[in-house]
Structure 1
């Protein structure tokens, strides 16, 4: 959905200029929830036979004053261009760009046992120092098969400091030696 990405990029640029990056982020995801869960909105939004002027009026009434004028104008533009179908994709492209700008990174933390916030704070400091990750969002998963230690997955990077990982590496080395 190249068009959705372009709209997201334009909205990011506008958000930076107007100091509304976070406001746009929040409103786009509220809108996404509305698209997912609100049949009334979907009936209006995806009705391609409705006149554009009527659709704009109904969308304005639907949101009342609860939406930023720039986001409302985006909706109007999508209606005018008959690109209603791409609206659900725009928040995801926006999030992708927004996260890069503010330094948000989803970090999957795999451990053998539950860990506390003190450990997550240490990981956060290490990620900043080693990889420049400013705002990690931790997703902690317990996997007893790693035996002990920790495994981190983020931005297509895998840091395996688990006992299972070390044993697997040793096994591979022993197989290499046995083959030679």
Structure 2
């Protein structure tokens, strides 16, 4: 249900941005609003609190965002409060940003390594992914010491596991299969 709600509102905002040729502007504003709301957990609790009046919530949103975002985005935020769907705001904003990435042909690749990667290593991985996928790549890095070494790369629903942990797991499975024969 939450995904359906987020998709509908995000798609409506995306359609408005596309129709008005303001994709980049909306993307920047949505990203800014998302960062603020995601980092201010207490503010989100206030927006979701049932004993705070709707008008007060709207007034707070307008004081914070009205001078920083378009009327369309402000209208969406106000509508979320009016419809009592404020708990979906972050998901709607995330879904909108995903719509923009799809529109621009940008794919997010998550690279997991045992130690932090250098900028040079990230650039090499990015170039290899660009050449193999023929798409723009946005890299997100994560550090997970449990993989011991190597990399895990996730692009969409595809995963390349070149980690030592993955190889050990594969070897363990092969040895287990040998014992059964």
Q: Do both proteins adopt the same fold according to a TM-score greater than 0.5, normalized to the shorter chain?
A: yes
2:118 aligned with 1:108: no
Query: Any stretches of 5+ residues in structure 2 without a counterpart?
Result: none
Partners of 1:151 and 1:159 within 8 A in 2:
yes
Once the two structures are superposed, residues 9-65 of structure 1 have per-residue CA deviations (whole angstroms, 9 ceiling, x without a partner) of 0111222222322322332243342483575xx56x9777556xx986775455443
Distance 1:61 1:116 in 2: 41
Distance 2:25 2:128 in 1: 30
Partners of 1:46 and 1:85 within 8 A in 2:
no
Distance 1:83 1:114 in 2: 39
2:176 aligned with 1:175: yes
| Equivalent residues, number | 176
Distance 2:67 2:172 in 1: 63
- TM-fit CA distance, 1:68: 1.0
Could you list the structure 1 runs, at least 4 aligned residues long, displaced by more than 6 angstroms after superposition: 45-48, 54-58
Judging changes above 3 Å, is the alpha-carbon distance between structure 1 residues 162 and 46 closer, same or farther for their aligned structure 2 residues? Answer: same
Partners of 1:108 and 1:153 within 8 A in 2:
yes
Instruction: State how 1:93-132 maps to structure 2 within 5 Å.
Output: 93-102=95-104, 103-111=106-114, 113-132=115-134
Q: Which residue of 1 aligns with 2:159?
A: 158
Radius of gyration: which is bigger? Answer: 1
- TM-fit CA distance, 1:74: 2.6
Taking structure 2 as the reference length, what is the TM-score of the superposition? Answer: 0.71
Instruction: State how 1:26-175 maps to structure 2 within 5 Å.
Output: 26-32=28-34, 33-34=36-37, 36=40, 39=43, 42=46, 49=53, 60=62, 62-78=64-80, 83-84=85-86, 86-102=88-104, 103-111=106-114, 113-143=115-145, 145-146=147-148, 148-175=149-176
